[in-house]
Amino acid sequence: MTLFNISFPGQGLTVKNIAQAIAIFERTVVSGIAPFDLWIGGDETAISETAKRGFDLFNNKANCVACHSGWNFTDDSFHDIGLPDKDIGRGNEVPNVVVMQHAFKVPTLRNAVERAPYMHDGSLKNLFTVVSHYNDGFMKRPSKSEKFSSLN
């Protein structure tokens, strides 16, 4: 609490200050150079052939790039990806906007393998379960993003 009081003198512990502290912290989180970066830079040996096929799937049939784009693999948008839970996410802030019901911010995929469990609620324990969800696990509801369809 002492450091918080130093950072926000005389303001106390408020939702606004907590959000600002989290935002400041998140701006300090920077990933290092990954094998993928080396591959994009021209080193064909930096990643496996399997990873290269995965990147083709990511950009084409699976269309992950529709939301996980740019250097940080996120477009910072909000989507309902069809998780079977009662949390309405962004819908709490914009209750009259259908597509924002059950919508959560698209996370970066940088170093994703190191950040299990996955999804806003930690309901998917590993990357295999994440792919399984995108293969056939969508809840069908009006707010589900049109960017997603089963991978088959």
* Residue 146 domain-assigned (yes or no): yes
* Residue 54 domain-assigned (yes or no): no
Query: Does 10 share its domain with 73?
Result: no
What confidence category does residue 136 fall into, taking pLDDT thresholds of 50, 70 and 90? confident
* Residue 49 domain-assigned (yes or no): no
- Nearest one of 143, 130, 81 to 106, comparing CA atoms: 81
Quote the domain boundaries for residue 15.
1-30
pLDDT, one tens digit per residue, over 67-97 is: 999 988 999 999 999 999 899 999 999 999 9
What confidence category does residue 143 fall into, taking pLDDT thresholds of 50, 70 and 90? very high
Mean pLDDT over the full length of the chain = 91
Query: Does 9 share its domain with 76?
Result: no
Q: Is 137 exposed, middle or buried (0-12, 13-18, 19+ CB in 10 A)?
A: middle
Provide the β-strand partners of residue 79: 104
Longest dimension (CA), the chain: 56
Angle CA 72–106–113, to nearest 5: 60
Of residues 138 and 93, the one with the higher pLDDT is 93
Q: What is the mean pLDDT of residues 56-66?
A: 93
74: domain CATH number is 1.10.760.10
* Residue 42 domain-assigned (yes or no): no
Query: Does 78 share its domain with 10?
Result: no
Query: Does 86 share its domain with 143?
Result: yes
What confidence category does residue 114 fall into, taking pLDDT thresholds of 50, 70 and 90? confident
Query: Does 80 share its domain with 129?
Result: yes
Secondary structure (3-state) at 85: coil
φ, ψ (nearest 5 deg) of residue 111: 55, 30
Tell me if the pTM is above 0.85.
Answer: no
- Nearest one of 138, 133, 144 to 101, comparing CA atoms: 144
Query: Does 139 share its domain with 81?
Result: yes
Structure tokens at 36: 């993928």
pLDDT, one tens digit per residue, over 21-58 is: 988 888 887 788 889 999 999 999 999 999 999 999 99
**C-alpha distance from residue 53 to each of 66, 80, 105 (Å):** 18, 27, 27
Query: Does 82 share its domain with 123?
Result: yes
Q: Which amino acid is at 70?
A: G
Q: Tell me how far apart the terminal alpha carbons of the chain are, to the nearest angstrom.
A: 50
**C-alpha distance from residue 115 to each of 7, 19, 34, 107, 108 (Å):** 28, 21, 15, 11, 11
Domains: count for the chain: 2
